[in-house]
Structure 1
Amino acid sequence: MDSDTSYRLHDSLGYQLSMAARVQERRLDEGLRQLGLTRMSWCVLLAVGSEGLEQPSLIAEFVGIDRTATSRILRTMEGAGLIARMSESVDRRKTSVSLTARGKDVLDKGVPLAVDNNQIMSARLTGDEFTELSRLLQKVRAGEDTPLSGI
């Protein structure tokens, strides 16, 4: 095989990004599962509880998913008692989302898990390396604004 035209999987940016993300996600998923959450429901909890987002379209944009996926996860979370959805009195087509007491409790329990998970990988980098990696990842993602169906 000609080495000039071969594709080296383990040397590819996509592979390295995927592997790093999987390690981080697997550890977070294990902690979230103990709280009855998925990574998607965690992101929505953060959007509503930490960022103060109330509109489903803003939640979808923040999480980086499409409106259909957002609607599905909101329905599931409402059934689990984590969020409440209310139609606005003036325009019944508009929905406002808020955390329930249970949702706030789960969010409070999840934050330390997420912080610890972040710390494990970021501790392997110096402050300058972390800043540079963040900058480079933003650069790689630039222009890729198409919402995903899931995370």
Structure 2
Amino acid sequence: MTDQKTQPDTPYRLHESLGYHLSLAARLQERRLDEMLRTVGLNRTTWCILLAVANEGLVQPSDIAGFVGIDRTATSRALRGMEAAGLLARQSGKEDKRTRRIVLTEKGRQAVIKASPFARENGRLLVALLEDGEVEELKRMLRVLIDGTPAALPAL
């Protein structure tokens, strides 16, 4: 791949850009996982929220949003839909009745059990494409990109 940053006078080539390759790889694995999750009535967002509550013990919408990596508005919208579907419930806090906690319902627990093999299979398919040691190296490199990327875009 040509380093487009050091050659400003050449045309920008989409298929040579790192961002394009990252996006395409992510979309391909996301699409495969979404297709599998759809068979149990979930999508990637609802799946990630279920994992936040079921496996990480997160109960506050803001904590769930941070874990999943989506904004609070999208989280609230997803939580409302998941509550209507019977996957989650909201409970008042024990000390402060004004606080609301997100809890997993039995239907939500069953969804996690049913969907977990799909997520494992999707991960297995990705890992199978890489050589020994490449998975950890790829995770390391992606962490460098994630940690080094500013959250806000600069004004144009």
Q: Common fold, TM-score beyond 0.5?
A: yes
Question: Is residue 114 of structure 1 aligned with residue 116 of structure 2?
Answer: no
- 1:143 shift after superposition: 4.1
Q: Secondary structure of 1:127's match?
A: coil
Q: Counterpart of 2:11?
A: 6
**Normalising by the residue count of structure 2, what TM-score does the alignment of the two structures yield?**
0.87
Deviation string, structure 1 residues 14-45 (Cα, Å, up to 9, x no partner): 11001101110110000111111111101100
Q: Counterpart of 1:47?
A: 52
Q: Select between 74-83 and 89-98 the one with higher mean Cα deviation.
A: 89-98
Q: Counterpart of 1:31?
A: 36
- 1:96 shift after superposition: 0.8
Greater relative CO (CA pairs within 8 A, separation 6+) = 1
- 1:57 shift after superposition: 1.2
Q: Secondary structure of 1:96's match?
A: strand
Deviation string, structure 1 residues 77-122 (Cα, Å, up to 9, x no partner): 0000000111214323311111100100010011110000011011
Among 68, 79, 87, which residue is 2:92 paired with?
Answer: 87
Residue correspondence of structure 1 range 126-145 to structure 2 within 5 A: 126-144=131-149
One-letter identity of the residue aligned with 2:114: K
**Normalising by the residue count of structure 1, what TM-score does the alignment of the two structures yield?**
0.90
* Runs of 4 or more above 6 Å deviation: none
Pairs aligned (count): 146
Q: Which has the larger radius of gyration?
A: 2
- 1:3 shift after superposition: 9.7
Q: Secondary structure of 2:133's match?
A: helix
Name stretches of at least 5 consecutive residues in structure 1 with no aligned partner: none
